[in-house]
Amino acid sequence: MGYMIEVEGLKKYYKIAKRDKGLMQTMRGLFKRKYEIRKAVDDISFQIKKGEIVGFIGPNGAGKSTTIKMLSGILYPDEGKLGVNGFVPYKQRKQYVKNIGVVFGQKTQLNWDLPLIESFELMKFIYKIPQEKYEENLHKFVKLLDMEDFINQPVRQLSLGQRMRGDIVAALLHSPEVVFFDEPTIGLDVVAKEKIRGFIKYMNKTEQTTIIFTTHDMQDIEKVCDRLIIIDSGKKVYDGSIDEIKTKYAYSKTVEMLLEDGTKQVQTFDVRKVPMNEVMEKLFAQYHIKDIAICEPEIDAIIRDIYEGRVLLDTNSIGGVHA
């Protein structure tokens, strides 16, 4: 089976100068540097089919940004193979970048002094987008993202949410088959986040755009992505569905009870230690319960437990091929 993105045994090392303590050691270091090798990405493999939206997450320093930079052709790997839509990104960068879109939430590709519409015209020229295709995409995107009121304003006058919508349109005007989103909702209010999430889902559904989505906002992942890849310390530690990670690793459950006397009780249990059927039996024996609800932990809490080592992931969940 062909894949849109194929990564095999990807590794990236950084050489970092070591600093010795003491004046004499520091002086010696000026003439003879000592280095240590840090593995930013350590033997990562995965495949992504056309039309998948994959959340790609990890704690700070995990190696996710380095991986995305290799996938987008900015960095070259030290070892391993990678291919995206038939291209080897770091070898065929000029041709490759014309076939992808990249959106960085903290860095704009728009011209700060130009009206937004002129930045889009510039993108049409850079990517050599046919006029008919350009007008079709521009009209559709502007309407979907409610941009009519500010499309003629200079970029410097736009709010963060408006500028982010502009960056997304600029990245998609040439109809790329693969798009990398890096923190596209960072700093935005709830309404702006929902609009961007909805637009990404729409593009994926109607155009079968393949999307890799990196973010620290787990609501982005839960509402946009079907599949999740987690990396930590340069290694892949999970590759599977969001539903699976909730089912397998939601160890704590909260029971909210409304008692017959009108009072409320809330209790949290670790299902690894006490099965839920035993919990329910004990609660009904202990209380006069009028109504009861079992609450699953938020995805944020599960991911935080994984990052902090409180959850041991099943190594069978990290195979290189996702069926």
End-to-end CA, the chain: 10
Average pLDDT value for residue range 126-155: 94
Q: Which helix (H) or strand (E) holds 256?
A: strand 252-259
Average pLDDT value for residue range 222-232: 91
Distance CA 44, CA 241 (A): 18
Query: 3-state DSSP: the chain helix, strand, coil percent, rounded to 5?
Result: 40, 30, 35
User: Residue 271's pLDDT band (boundaries 50, 70, 90)?
Assistant: confident
Count of helices and strands (H, E) across the chain: 11, 12
pLDDT tens by residue, 142-178: 999 999 999 999 999 999 999 999 999 999 999 999 9
Average pLDDT value for residue range 127-145: 94
How does DSSP assign 257-323, residue by residue? EEETTS-EEEEEEETTTS-HHHHHHHHHHHS-EEEEEEEPPPHHHHHHHHHTTSS---GGGG-S---
53 strand-pairing partners:
211
Q: Rounded to two decimals, what is the model's pTM?
A: 0.81
CB burial string 254-277: b at 16+ within 10 A, e below: ebebeeeeeeeeeeebeeeeeeee
Neighbours of 204 (CB within 10 A): 19
Give the model's pLDDT for residue 323: 42
User: Residue 318's pLDDT band (boundaries 50, 70, 90)?
Assistant: low
Give the model's pLDDT for residue 26: 58
Average pLDDT of the residues of the chain: 87
Q: Tokens for 243, please give them.
A: 């539903």
Give the model's pLDDT for residue 62: 84
pLDDT tens by residue, 25-64: 655 655 566 777 888 899 999 999 999 999 999 888 888 8
User: Residue 23's pLDDT band (boundaries 50, 70, 90)?
Assistant: low
Give the model's pLDDT for residue 104: 85
Distance CA 286, CA 195 (A): 47
Instruction: Note the helical H segments in 60-189.
Output: 64-71, 93-96, 116-127, 131-144, 160-172
- Does pLDDT of 309 surpass 80? no
Instruction: Considering only residues 72 and 24, tell me which one the structure prediction assigns the higher pLDDT.
Output: 72
Distance CA 160, CA 105 (A): 10
What are the φ and ψ backbone dihedral angles of 17, each rounded to 5 degrees? -70, 130
